[in-house]
Amino acid sequence: MKRKFWFIVIYKYLLITYANGEIEGRSLDGHEESLDFGINNINERREIPIQNSVQQNPRYRCYSCEYSDCYDTELRKTHLCQNALQCWKSTTREVNGIVRVSRGCTTHDKIPFCLSNTSAPGKPENGRYSIECCTGDYCNDGDFPEILDFHEDDVTRGQIGNDKIKLSMAIFGPVVFISLLAIVVIYFMRKNHQKRLLATRSKQDPETYYASDDLLRATSAGDSTLREYLQHSVTSGSGSGLPLLVQRTLAKQVTLVDCIGRGRYGEVWRGIWHGENVAVKIFFSRDEESWKRETEIYSTALLRHENILGYIGSDMTSRNSCTQLWLLTNYYPFGSLFDYLNRMSLNHNDMMQICLSVANGLVHLHTEIFGTEGKPAIAHRDLKSKNILVKPNGVCAIADFGLAVTHSQVTGKLDLGTNPKVGTKRYMAPEVLDETINMKCFEALRRADIYALGLIFWEVGRRTLSGGIAEDYKVPYYDVVPNDPSFEDMRKVVCGDNYRPCIPNRWSSDMLLATLSKLMRECWHQNPNVRLPALRIKKTLLKLASTDSKVRLDYEEECV
């Protein structure tokens, strides 16, 4: 019994010692030996189950060598590994540039050297290496793996680039966010401030009259800004503009946006009034007489007309310690006829639209309307392309009445005003230049307007296409006088030489232009008595337009 006991103890000791695969029927020196200790007999008798872990992990034979021995074929065959889980071969490049190679095996299954039989590049602190692992007998034979270069500069650049992007986002991200937040806050603060300011004004200034937005909202029809409201105001004694009570507060209600023109009288600005665009003509203080006269003419009852610039009101204010005289009218984005002709060439329909609308507006000015609230006859005295505005539909409106003269046959009164200025020299009639005009005769003043109308027709005709050709825009007498002619320059050319603008030869082959050239010659005739009245010019143009099927005008009712 004792001998069996000690035999079992020795068997268990050997089983524990070699159970992890250190031996597989072989001795520790690598040679196969029989280990027949009668274990099988004992197992059969004792029926003890044995689980051999060695059989679960296959074992291989591998080459094992270091550095120079690995290249020697004979030496390599003498350096072998037995019972290996994996075989491997590696190449190492040290920091000093020396390349070393080696082969070996992994014998412990709890800490495998490679997870799979693939190459594994690396960069240790003392150099660079590349290793290949495999499974199979002597599978680590052959060429050694190449060291994969590690492009340190590229990685460094990438890291620096990423760092720059992150740094930029960290700096500018909050700045942009704070800026956008500040803009939104300022916008709402200003909006709230405007509301409070408006409420404060209405409480502190009981004389200030603020009409409701529905009442003062401008319409888009023609030139009749605030049409319904202004039609009612005509009977209020304020002429064609707003009631005087409203006009007293216009400067407070208008926001100036941008300057759209400058002249000898002052400036013209585009403004915003109750959400609508308006034109604000700001006079210099030295031109107060022109402002007064223009306000007076616009305030004339029954002056409102499709071809007369729509008037809103006048006001006097102080800006930057300077007195400003404001005149508010409708705003037309195309500007004056002078600007329009510089930009655009015209077809026949455009030409007739412009000429007929200017003539139609001049007829309304020159005609006296009788009645309880009649309209006196008005002579413009400064008619030129810069004082005619173009609407979006191509129809024109006459503006700038600072030198206008009124006449009433009922009272026989001729109101010349107190403005000492005269008109534009380039458009002055011969009788004005040679000072033979009778300023007390209203008919003489009307005929001077007709002379200027003929020059405007000439400007329009030059820009009208005929056979695909149109001349460049030029002002009248551009070829015989300087850009800013003197009174004497114009008198010599117009009165002394009896010269008139040259009519291009191409007009003779175009029926509309040929007829227009005949009409303008009668308008600028040297003898004022020969010139046609405005109504006759209008009827002639209507008849001319009806002969051309390409011309479509909305003046059928006036043809009758």
Q: Which residues are catalytic?
A: 382
Q: How far apart are CA 9 and CA 44, in angstroms?
A: 17
**Three-state DSSP class for residue 234:** helix
Q: How far is CA 293 from CA 267, 389, 449, in A?
A: 17, 20, 18
Sign of the four-CA dihedral 336, 362, 443, 369: negative
Q: How far apart are CA 102 and CA 89, in angstroms?
A: 6
Q: Strand pairing partners for 346?
A: 464
Are the beta carbons of 218 and 276 closer than 8 angstroms?
Answer: yes
- Angle 59-60-66 (CA atoms, 0-180°, nearest 5)? 130
Q: How far apart are CA 522 and CA 528, in angstroms?
A: 10
**Amino acid at site 335:** G
One DSSP character per residue, 261-327 reads EE-SSEEEEEEEETTEEEEEEEE-GGGHHHHHHHHHHHTSTT---TTBPPEEEEEEEEETTEEEEEE
SS (HEC) of 8-21: HHHHHHHHHHHCCC
Q: How far apart are CA 65 and CA 160, in angstroms?
A: 43
**Three-state DSSP class for residue 131:** strand
One DSSP character per residue, 480-542 reads TS-SS--HHHHIIIIIIS---PPPPGGGGGSHHHHHHHHHHHHHT-SSGGGSPPHHHHHHHHH
Q: How far apart are CA 270 and CA 278, in angstroms?
A: 6
**Amino acid at site 441:** C
* Residue 501: HSE in the Cβ half-sphere, 13 Å Cα cutoff: 27
Residue 381 CB contacts under 8 Å (≥ 6 apart), including other chains: 403, 404, 405, 423, 445, 448, 449
Give one word for 274, left, alpha or beta, with left for phi > 0 and alpha for psi -120 to 50. Answer: left
Q: How far is CA 546 from CA 358, 521, 553, in A?
A: 18, 21, 9
Residue 392 CB contacts under 8 Å (≥ 6 apart), including other chains: 332, 333, 334
Are the beta carbons of 266 and 282 closer than 8 angstroms?
Answer: yes
Q: Strand pairing partners for 66?
A: 102
Are the beta carbons of 62 and 140 closer than 8 angstroms?
Answer: yes
Angle between helices 348-366 and 534-546 (to 10 degrees): 150
- Angle 525-477-403 (CA atoms, 0-180°, nearest 5)? 70
